[in-house]
Amino acid sequence: AQSVAQPEDQVNVAEGNPLTVKCTYSVSGNPYLFWYVQYPNRGLQFLLKYITGDNLVKGSYGFEAEFNKSQTSFHLKKPSALVSDSALYFCAVRASYNFNKFYFGSGTKLNVKP
Amino acid sequence: EAGVAQSPRYKIIEKRQSVAFWCNPISGHATLYWYQQILGQGPKLLIQFQNNGVVDDSQLPKDRFSAERLKGVDSTLKIQPAKLEDSAVYLCASSSRLLAGDGNEQFFGPGTRLTVL
């Protein structure tokens, strides 16, 4: 069965420091992996995705994510956090052979303090 | 390009009443999804359409929820009758196509926040 785990409900980081939001997944076959961000009272906004190729994927607003097949992880990173990055972040996975569901994690609230 | 449109943005009803939500996907997007997002949780897929056909509705509570996408463009999600536990944000998303091996991302609307009293 496909699933996504985001082990941290909340991540706190000071502005200017690097940030990491963790995601691990379980999927049969090759995974398609996604990160979305959600600001208050807004829908989810696409940040980046891994389909194939280079394990380091760069996305919007300076975010990047590293795909690690052996650890089944797809952690979201940013070298220098901004207060405006404070939001709810969701990891999602879809199996490459299954054209049905996206599976979302439970979300991680990122708090960036000035 | 215009994004995914949803209406209304907010709705408050009493239990046992009916409610309907509307979604207009991005022009040309063949696949449309309805998700339920309960506070503190990730989105849960309710139903997925490919054009005007249902691809997956395994998690749709069919005794009270229904959805349609008659012309393969906009869609309506209905709840009848509503229960207290239906209080959530209902998100609509679309993507350009959905084939096995397709890595296209979904684009989300702003959601409808439903409160059932």
**Interface check A49 vs B, CB under 8 A:** yes
Count Cα atoms within 13 angstroms, Cβ side, for A16: 1
**Interface check B93 vs A, CB under 8 A:** yes
**Interface check B103 vs A, CB under 8 A:** yes
Q: Which residues contact B32 (CB under 8 A, 6 or more apart)?
A: B23, B25, B48, B49, B69, B75, B92, B93, B94
pLDDT over 90 for what percent of chain B? 70
Give the span between the Cα atoms of B86 and B59, in whole angstroms.
Answer: 14
**Interface check A43 vs B, CB under 8 A:** yes
C-alpha pair distances (Å), A39 with each of A11, A84, B72: 15, 10, 29
> pLDDT tens-digit profile of B50-93?
888 898 898 999 999 999 998 889 999 999 999 999 999 999 99
Q: Assess whether pLDDT exceeds 80 at residue A5.
A: yes
> pLDDT tens-digit profile of A44-103?
999 999 988 889 999 999 999 999 999 999 999 999 999 999 999 999 998 766 555 788
pLDDT given at position A97: 63
Band (B99; pLDDT cuts 50, 70, 90):
low
Q: What would the mean pLDDT of B33-56 be, rounded to a whole number?
A: 91
B113 neighbourhood in chain A, CB within 8 Å: 41
Q: Nearest CA to B48 among B66, B60, B62, B34? A: B34
Give the span between the Cα atoms of B84 and B82, in whole angstroms.
Answer: 7
B41 neighbourhood in chain A, CB within 8 Å: 106-107
Question: What's chain B's average pLDDT?
Answer: 91
pLDDT given at position A99: 59
pLDDT given at position B28: 87
The span from the first CA to the last CA of chain B, in angstroms, equals 37
pLDDT given at position B72: 83
Give the span between the Cα atoms of A38 and A49, in whole angstroms.
Answer: 16
Q: Which residue of A has its CA nearest to B113?
A: A41
Question: Which run of H or of E encompasses B91?
Answer: strand B88-95
C-alpha pair distances (Å), A58 with each of A50, A51, A63, A86, B59: 9, 12, 6, 19, 33
C-beta atoms of A46 and B106 within 8 A: yes
Burial of A8 (0-12, 13-18, 19+ CB in 10 A): middle
Which of A36, A97, A101 has the CB atom closest to B100's CB atom? A97
| Contact by Cβ (8 Å): B106, A90 | no
What backbone phi and psi angles, to 5 degrees, belong to A40?
-55, 135
**Interface check B5 vs A, CB under 8 A:** no
pLDDT given at position B41: 87
Q: Assess whether pLDDT exceeds 80 at residue A37.
A: yes
Q: Mutate which of A32, A100, A103, A108 to disrupt the B interface (most B C-beta within 10 Å)?
A: A100
